[in-house]
Amino acid sequence: MEIIRDLLGLFSFISNIYEQIKNFFIPQRAFAWQTLIYLSIFSWLMSSLSTGIVKSTIALCGWVFLIAGTAWYTTENPLLIPGTNMPVGALVTGFLVSAFAFGNSAEVLTSRTLVFWPTISAFITAAGEFFEGTGTDVNTQIPKVEDREKIIILVASCMVISCWLQFGFTVNRWLQEFPSLRADNFSNNFVIRITEPLANKIPENGVEILKKLEPLVKEQIANRPWSEVEQWLLGVQQRVTSLGTQVIQTSLGGYEERYLWRLEPRVYNLKSGGYTLDLLSIWSGPTSTGLEYYLKQSCQIEPLARSTNSSANNRADNGSLFAEINCGQITKPIPGPPPPLQ
């Protein structure tokens, strides 16, 4: 008897589960939230078999049915987020609305989808306070004073969250397009430190363009007659600037910050008769101090007497002077404007 009783109890448990599943998926009446969900699935199935404007129209209907069905279901059985008056269903519906409004066919979950999600969910929650009832039996009402205060606080809080999300995405985009910002210290400008201090890190792009410029300058100077090199140094500003523009466009073509870097030379006479050529990689973009900074690579250019053998008479000619150039290490960022032209 106990076995039969247990079997009957198990059968009753399974029957109850089956009835709950059936009631969940099969609507009790034609106009129900399940009907809208099924219509959205059918619309997406039909849109996948269509093309052009028909595909877009059917997909639009699918989104409308899905949003309406989800909103209907979640308002019938509201479950509040702990500590707030926002239903969980409003979050779900808000995400669907945000994905529909700001997503695209290639990517539904975009940055704008996440940014507007909290605010849209708050407005959906606030809109529910102006209506009473569910399904087709809905009446308008004016919220009570205490409910109005909760609505204002909820909407304002969600808008602040959206602003912080947008700020986070904006800063992340800045760091992708302007990676040299990672070398600065903005801890005094933002709530949290997002980058390492300037003294502990060198902007990689500034170093890269100097490394690419060095062999080009050496090619123009090394082993050239000294008279030609001195003539070259007279127009060094224009020549280095032109070479620097080419290097920046080639090396930083994928970054927006390529417009914020520039290369300039500085030439100083030496007592030995040679020259010091400073190659400056100057950052004119945003900094924590509001001032630009620059990286410097110093190159020593010296005249070198070199004998040349003549194949005709095999005599040594010691009167020819040629240029020798040696470049040092790239310095750390130097705050402030570069030295003035001489």
| Confidence band for 23, pLDDT divided at 50, 70 and 90 | low
Three-class DSSP category at 187: coil
Least Cα distance to 129 among 120, 116, 140, 118 occurs for 140
Range with the largest mean pLDDT of 74-78, 177-181, 230-234: 230-234
**Predicted confidence (pLDDT) at residue 281 exceeds the cutoff of 90:** yes
| Confidence band for 213, pLDDT divided at 50, 70 and 90 | very high
Q: Are 142 and 129 in contact (CB under 8 A)?
A: no
Lowest mean pLDDT among 12-26, 79-93, 187-201, 207-221: 187-201
Three-class DSSP category at 225: strand
Tokens for 112, please give them: 């704008």
Whole-number pLDDT of residue 4: 65
Least Cα distance to 302 among 266, 272, 265, 329 occurs for 272
Whole-number pLDDT of residue 196: 46
Alpha-helical segments (H) within the chain? 2-25, 33-48, 52-76, 88-102, 111-128, 145-177, 204-221, 226-234, 236-251
**Predicted confidence (pLDDT) at residue 92 exceeds the cutoff of 60:** yes
293-305 and 321-330 as β-strands: parallel, antiparallel, unpaired? antiparallel
**For 115-140, how does the pLDDT look when each residue is reduced to its tens digit (9 = 90+)?**
999 999 888 888 877 777 655 566 77
| Confidence band for 320, pLDDT divided at 50, 70 and 90 | confident
Give the Cα-Cα-Cα angle 206, 212, 216 (nearest 5 degrees): 135
Least Cα distance to 67 among 112, 124, 115 occurs for 124
- Give the mean model confidence (pLDDT) for residues 105-120: 85
User: What does the mean pLDDT of the chain come to?
Assistant: 81
Range with the largest mean pLDDT of 15-24, 74-83, 319-328: 319-328
Whole-number pLDDT of residue 189: 58
Sequence spans of domains, the chain: 21-176, 204-309+316-335
d(CA 166, CA 273): 58
DSSP code at position 196: -
Least Cα distance to 329 among 300, 296, 289, 305 occurs for 296
Angle between helices 88-102 and 52-76 (to 10 degrees): 170
Whole-number pLDDT of residue 66: 86
Per residue, the 3-state secondary structure of 254-311, as one string, reads CCHHHHCEEEEEEEEECCCCCEEEEEEEEECCCCCCCCCEEEEEEEEEEEEECCEECC
Q: Are 172 and 195 in contact (CB under 8 A)?
A: no
d(CA 74, CA 92): 8
d(CA 14, CA 12): 5
| Confidence band for 207, pLDDT divided at 50, 70 and 90 | very high
**For 162-192, how does the pLDDT look when each residue is reduced to its tens digit (9 = 90+)?**
999 998 898 888 888 888 887 777 666 554 4
Task: Classify burial at 120, counting beta carbons within 10 Å of its beta carbon; exposed 0-12, middle 13-18, buried 19 or more.
Answer: buried
Lowest mean pLDDT among 39-48, 55-64, 98-107, 221-230: 98-107
d(CA 64, CA 39): 10
**Predicted confidence (pLDDT) at residue 326 exceeds the cutoff of 90:** yes
Backbone angles phi, psi at 247, to 5 degrees: -65, -45
Comparison of pLDDT for 266 and 124, the residue scoring more: 266
d(CA 117, CA 99): 8
Residues 6+ apart with CB under 8 A from 325: 217, 218, 221, 222, 277, 299, 300, 301, 302
Q: Are 206 and 261 in contact (CB under 8 A)?
A: yes
| Confidence band for 317, pLDDT divided at 50, 70 and 90 | very low
Comparison of pLDDT for 137 and 219, the residue scoring more: 219
